[in-house]
Every structure is written in structure tokens, then in C-alpha cells.
Amino acid sequence: MKSIKEILYVLSLPLIITLIMAFKGFADDQKLENIKAKNSGKSFAVVELFTSEGCWSCPPADELIARLEKDNENKKLFILAYHVDYWDHQGWKDRFSKAKFTERQKQYATWMNLGTLYTPQMVINGKTETVGSESTKVLRSIQSAMLESHAENLIVKMEKSEGKSIQISYTSTSASKNSIILMALVQKKASSQVSAGENAGKALSHVQIVRDLQSRTLQANDSFSFKLPDTKEDWEIIAFEQNQNSGEIIDATSVNL
Amino acid sequence: MNKLAILMIAVLMIFCGYSKGQTSNGQVTWECILKRKSPEEGEISMKAKIPLGWHMYALGNSSKSPIKMNFKFLPDKSYELVGKVTQPTPLRKFEKVLGIPVTYFENDVEFSQRIKIKGKNGTIRGTIQFMQCSDEICIPPQEFGFALKIFSL
């Protein structure tokens, strides 16, 4: 009698694993829906992806943020995709890459005590990091970030828009010391025609690409100037306050241009 | 019964630990030695150990791809290079993102560079730039520096 039970236990193991795998996909879709639903609370999630067109393991992470962005009704979900420059060299360049985005990733490595950089890396609210293509982990981190309430005292406003030049001002009542304010100029959508040899004509599509990032010490009010690379595209400014000692993001907001 | 429960938990823990191990212990390691065939002839052997689940790109990939893989040897009076760095036949796959085939290695690979030894004493200094990826992540190009002493035979 006992041995039959034991056999059943052993057989149940692969079955459980299969069921977990099947459930995972379903659970991810559910999480995605929850995250993208209207959010009237005082919580937010700043999702920063470090990626590159030259990184083989990155497309699933790019797809994940595209899924998060599509039909999103949560105004407190801020997605930023930074293209790092360490895959670039003579003969090959990701046109969205910038050295300062790599610097930002290095800064996170310092804050989080990580031994190495890698792509795709996803950082949520400056506090947790995970492999950008591991959808379950990413979505779980976003969900738990959405459970925390924040003061919500950062307000941004577009002051001026003349052709390609724009000026954005902010006011903040955050009392925290050692904080900086960052503003990211984000291109909502883009597709890159990869020109390399046999790949000619193939398009890679991206969402929420950071094209410029500026930061200064946080004050009660200040303003930032940006130059749009192209007026035909859709743009957004994502502004957020970050603690310089821990890397934690204290507050975030955005404005469409 | 209890033992079985413990066993099942242990098996599940192994599954959990596997993916984490990929990111923290996935470093390619190098071992370089100088093989002497005669007082004048030598071969620099550069062996890479590639951890399970990872691959390292081979020499000879398109310069229009982001792959960086190269060997540099600092010129010195005591030796001169004979030919180029050689490698075993690499694995190939078609890289969808780039739309080009790429070549790479798994497990172990030995690169070698033949040299002619001119001086009695000297040091061969070089750097290896390499790139490694797993199915999930890519690590920025890394450099490994080495110095090999030439002893007189």
C-alpha cells in the first residue's frame, strides 16, 4: 500500500512541473492586465530597461516592454529603454546608443553591488533588478512596486515648444536630501532598418526609447531644455527623483509633448 | 513519506537554483601557456573554459556585426609572430536579430599562435578581447591580459 503511494508521489512530480509551466503563461497575462489597469492610487513603477540592438538575448525583453506599453491605461507606469553603447564599434552601431546610458547602468551596478554589467537588464524603481526577458520576475517586481504609496509631489509642465526646442519646468516639495532630479526625453516608437550586409531591409521595432537624459540636484523648482531629434515622432518626458545614496526612485511623473 | 517530501523539495530547489547560477557563475576563464618545440619555435596556447549554458563568439565573425573577439600581442625584441591566431572549427547558427550567420564555441576551446623565438630572455604580453552570451543575457566585451616568460632552453 505504502509503495503505491510512493510511486504516485514520484509520478506527480513531472506532472506538477508541467502544470506550473502551463500556468505560468496564464498567470503572466493576468499580471500584465492588472499592471496596465487604471491606477488611481499613489503608487508608481519606473521600469528601466538596458538593451541594445546588438545583443542577441535582448529581443524578448524589448517585446515584454512593448506588451506593457500597448493599450496601457496605467498613467503611473513609466517605461524607459536605454540603449547601451558597449556593443558598438567601428562598422557597427546601435543608432540609439549613448555612453551616458552605459554610465547609468554602471551606476546601478554600484548601487546594487553587482559584479558585472549585462543586457537585457531591467531595474524597477531603482530598487530591484532582474534579467529583462524573465517576464514572471519582471511583472512580479512591477506589481510589488505598485503596492507602495508615495508622496506624489513632483509636478512637471511644458513651458515652451518652438520647433525642435522644448523647455520643461518642475516643482517639487520633496524634503529628502541627497536627491537628484532626472528628466528623460523618450521617443514613443521607432523602427530601425538594420543595414548590416545580409540583414539589409530587416526592421527591428522599439518602444519608449530614451534619446536624452539630464540630471541635476533636486530643488524646489527648476527647468530643463531639450532638443528633439525629430519633430515627426511622438515624444514624452519622464521625470523622476532619485536618492543618490541608495538609487531608490522617490517620485515620478510624465508629460506628453 | 517524509523523506520523499524532502526529496521533492530538494529537486524543486535544484530547478530554482539553476537559472540564478547562470548569471552569477557564468564567467569564461582563460589559461595561457607557451609551448616550446625547439629553441627557436614556440606556440602560444590560449585555452578558454566556457561554463555550461554559455557560448563565446569565435574569430572571423563579420566586422559589420557587434561581435568583438580578437587577440593582441605586444611587439618585443625576443619574439615574432608566425601567421595568425588559429582556432578549431566553430559551431554555426543563423542569428535572426542580425540576419547573419554567427560562429561560436561551447565548453572548451584552444586558440594558438605560432611564434619564432629570437631572444634568450623576454616576455610575451598580450590581451584577449572576448564576448560571451547565454540564452538569456549577454555580458559586455571583456579583456584578459597575460604575460608569458620566455626561458632560454
Distance CA A170, CA A214 (A): 13
Average pLDDT of the residues in A172-182: 86
The model's pTM? 0.82
| Residue A125, C-alpha cell as written in the block | 524603481
Ramachandran class of B83: left when φ > 0, alpha when ψ lies in -120 to 50, beta otherwise: left
Position B22 pLDDT exceeds 60: no
CA-based nearest residue in chain B for residue A114: B24
Number of domains in chain B: 1
Note whether A113 contacts B: Cβ–Cβ < 8 A: no
Nearest residue on chain B to A197, alpha-carbon basis: B64
Predicted confidence (pLDDT) per residue in A197-213, tens digit: 444 455 668 999 999 99
Contact (CB<8Å) A119/B138: yes
The answer to whether the Cβ–Cβ distance between B136 and A17 falls below 8 Å is: no
The rounded distance, in Å, linking the Cα atoms of A253 and A43 is 11
How high is the ipTM of this complex?
Answer: 0.73
- DSSP β-ladder status, A165-172 and A221-227: antiparallel
- Find the mean pLDDT for residues B125-134: 93
B73: domain CATH number is 2.60.40.1250
Q: What is the mean pLDDT of residues B116-144?
A: 90
In this predicted structure, what is the pLDDT of residue B101? 86
Predicted confidence (pLDDT) at residue B19 exceeds the cutoff of 60:
no
Could A92 and B65 be called an inter-chain contact, meaning their C-beta atoms sit closer than 8 Å? yes
Query: Which range scores top for mean pLDDT: A6-10, A33-37, A107-111, B25-29?
Result: A107-111
Q: Are B100 and B93 in contact (CB under 8 A)?
A: no
pLDDT in tens, B67-114: 889 999 999 999 999 999 999 999 998 877 667 788 999 999 999 999
Domain of B9? 2-150
